[in-house]
Amino acid sequence: MHVQEWLETIPAASIYLLVGVVIGLESLGIPLPGEIVLVSSALLASQHGDIDPYILGACASAGAIIGDSIGYAIGRRGGRPLLAWLAGKFPKHFGEAQISMAERSFEKWGMWAVFFGRFVALLRIFAGPLAGVLRMPYWKFLIANVLGGILWAGGTTAVIYSVGVVAEAWLKRFSWLGLVLAVLTGLISMLVLKNRAKKAAEQSESPRAATAQAAAEPDAVRAAD
């Protein structure tokens, strides 16, 4: 049984709650399939009148904004030790390479990293906690968080719902394709980000190695003398 089939077995109110909680936890920093749950719920809403797409989009937006805000507060309070703890719990998502890539994105783009990070699977998990760790001013974070959360959650719901309404008969027969596309998109984005993270880590290590070598040379000269 895939996600959409399971969602069909629970009441609409539970779907609203599930979407909000899963997206909220993902935004807080816990690796969960928030995007897949949202896409599946929006497809289901297009086929069943019991699920209101406006309420669904509102719950998804609220989950995204609240989860990111809690993640920001935890990151600001926990600081660097929090990232080390997360790396121990979720090494594939919070490894040194991933954190290095995310930090470089934040240093380069600032609040835009929070806004656009909402649309990228890995950065969606990092955005809130890392913004807090890096002490981004809260008002900047809040603006990017609210706008990004509403545009991502509301926009995803609206687009998937509209497609479902227009092609209801087709989607009813091949609804699994939406999930497959969502999963493939997520995997591709994760692979791209992982590759960039590795390159970022290598670039950050190069200056350190050069500095260490430069510091070691005078010692070697003195030893030779």
* Residue 214 pLDDT exceeds 60: no
- Closest to 18 measured CA to CA, from 51, 48, 206, 47: 51
CA distance 143 to 131: 13
AA letter at 78 = G
Give the model's confidence band at 112: pLDDT under 50 very low, under 70 low, under 90 confident, else very high.
Answer: confident
Tell me if residue 66 falls in helix, strand or coil: helix
* Residue 162 pLDDT exceeds 60: yes
* Residue 67 pLDDT exceeds 80: yes
* Residue 31 pLDDT exceeds 80: no
- As a whole number, the mean pLDDT across the chain is 74
- Give the residue with greater pLDDT, 120 vs 38: 38
pLDDT value, residue 219: 52
153 touches 63 (CB < 8 A): yes
Instruction: State mean pLDDT over 70-80.
Output: 83
pLDDT tens per residue across span 175-201: 555 556 655 665 676 566 566 656 655
- Give the residue with greater pLDDT, 205 vs 36: 36
By residue count, the chain amounts to: 225
pLDDT value, residue 137: 86
Residues 6+ apart with CB under 8 A from 89: none
Instruction: State mean pLDDT over 53-82.
Output: 88
